[in-house]
């Protein structure tokens, strides 16, 4: 099974293969810029999710690169990643810029050397096996709240439109209002993004748009954890009326605890339950959009989820994915012994953390 480090090396190798194909068959400037953009985004995601998974993902790309020096990566190698970052920034901010295909080839070859050193150093979770993805389709809709300078991004599970409220929302994250376009540009680095046309029922779209200050909805296909990690990068800390904050909803707290605790066990499945709780809380703050002022609300759920996962065999603890949402009947009929019915949470035979909280 491939590790996270090997997966990054494979991505670089594929980019180099494509570059060599361009050299032989020809290309235009946009081909090279698109490839550079893709590999720069992949490198940033690799540093944030795999190399330094507990560092705050709202810190910028530069700070993650510099962090490598604290793990015995030489300045020369660190500069190789800075070269990728600077070339990408130039291409992004200057549409008329021209970058040599041979220069990009050298950048990628140097990047592969740095990643090799990171893998040898076993930094973060780069030596851990890649967990199977729990991918599904989500509907995304957002509303601008101009007085707060905030955009409320709501995540829905697809469903038939019932002519009234329609789809069941499973999460809501407040981001900086001016960051909406940045979020949309960033999301393809975390999963597939599609137009709502033909994918979300027309009645559902009309209902959302009728509410006012509604932005054009779209479809995200990927992991729920990847979606929240991306949203967390643009999180805005605002004080809302009681009951409206993301952390006011127990289901949101439970879902976040599942993602954070699963990551904690993937990073170190042998750590004590106490250390798993500490690590998961850090991940909830830095990766999963829980603001530290609400830590007292999520700590209970983290502890409960740790108790569930700690019942599983060691090889399962490091391979868990989820959450996934099922109906009450589907949850009640599952015979898993790794469970806590007080929080409607269990581990199924596919190593997924299942929540029996879905409303249809």
Contact 327, 356 (CB under 8 A): yes
What predicted TM-score, i.e. pTM, was given to this entire model? 0.87
pLDDT at 165: 67
DSSP string, 232-279: HTTB------TT-SGGG-HHHHHHHHHHHHHHHHHH-TTS-HHHHHHH
In Å, how far are 289, 330, 339, 341, 347 from 335, measured between CA atoms? 32, 10, 9, 12, 10
Q: Coil, helix or strand for 73?
A: coil
| pLDDT of amino acid 354 | 96
Average pLDDT over the chain, rounded to an integer: 93
Number of C-beta neighbours around residue 282 at 10 A: 18
Distance CA 54, CA 124 (A): 9
For the chain, list the domains and their CATH numbers: 4-121 (1.20.120), 135-232 (no CATH), 251-355 (no CATH)
Residue 195 CA to residue 217 CA, distance in Å, equals 8
What pLDDT is stored for residue 360 in this prediction? 47
Please tell me the predicted confidence (pLDDT) of residue 13.
98
Please choose, from the candidates 83, 77, 82, 88, the residue with its C-alpha nearest in 3D space to the C-alpha of residue 114. 77
Question: Among the residues of the chain, which ranges form H helices?
Answer: 4-25, 29-45, 61-67, 75-93, 101-121, 180-186, 202-209, 224-232, 250-267, 273-286, 295-309, 314-317, 328-332
Residue ranges for the chain with pLDDT beneath 70: 1, 163-165, 240-241, 243-244, 359-360
pLDDT of residue 1: 67
């Amino acid at each position: 099974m491939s590790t996270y480090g090997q997966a990054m090396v494979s991505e670089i190798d594929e980019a180099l293969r494509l570059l060599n194909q361009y050299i032989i068959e020809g290309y235009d400037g946009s081909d090279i810029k698109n490839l550079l953009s893709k590999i720069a985004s992949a490198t940033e995601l690799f540093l944030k999710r795999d190399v330094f998974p507990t560092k705050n993902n709202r810190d910028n790309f530069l700070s993650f690169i510099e962090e490598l020096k604290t793990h015995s990566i030489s300045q020369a190698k660190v500069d190789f990643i800075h070269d990728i970052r600077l070339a990408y920034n130039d291409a992004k901010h200057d549409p008329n810029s021209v970058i040599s295909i041979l220069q990009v080839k050298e950048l990628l070859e140097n990047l592969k050397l740095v990643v090799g050193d990171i893998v040898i150093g076993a930094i973060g979770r780069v030596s851990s096996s890649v967990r199977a993805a729990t991918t599904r389709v989500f509907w995304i809709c957002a509303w601008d709240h101009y007085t707060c300078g905030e955009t409320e991004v709501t995540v829905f599970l697809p469903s038939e439109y019932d002519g009234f409220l329609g789809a069941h929302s499973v999460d809501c994250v407040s981001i900086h209002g001016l960051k909406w376009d940045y979020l949309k540009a960033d999301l393809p680095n975390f999963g597939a993004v599609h137009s709502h046309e033909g994918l979300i029922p027309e009645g559902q779209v009309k209902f959302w748009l009728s509410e006012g200050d509604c932005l054009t909805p779209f479809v995200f296909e990927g992991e729920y954890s990847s979606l929240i990690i991306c949203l967390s990068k643009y999180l805005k800390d605002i004080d809302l009326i009681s009951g409206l904050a993301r952390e006011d909803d127990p289901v949101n707290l439970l879902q976040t605890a599942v993602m954070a605790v699963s990551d904690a066990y993937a990073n170190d499945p042998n750590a004590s339950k106490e250390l798993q709780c500490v690590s998961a809380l850090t991940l909830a703050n830095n990766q999963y959009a829980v603001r530290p002022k609400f830590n007292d609300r999520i700590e209970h759920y983290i502890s409960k989820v740790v108790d569930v996962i700690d019942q599983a065999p060691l090889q399962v603890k490091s391979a868990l994915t989820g959450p996934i949402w099922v109906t009450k009947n589907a949850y009640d009929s599952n015979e898993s012994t790794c469970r806590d019915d007080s929080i409607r949470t269990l581990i199924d035979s596919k190593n997924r953390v299942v929540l029996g909280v879905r409303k249809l």
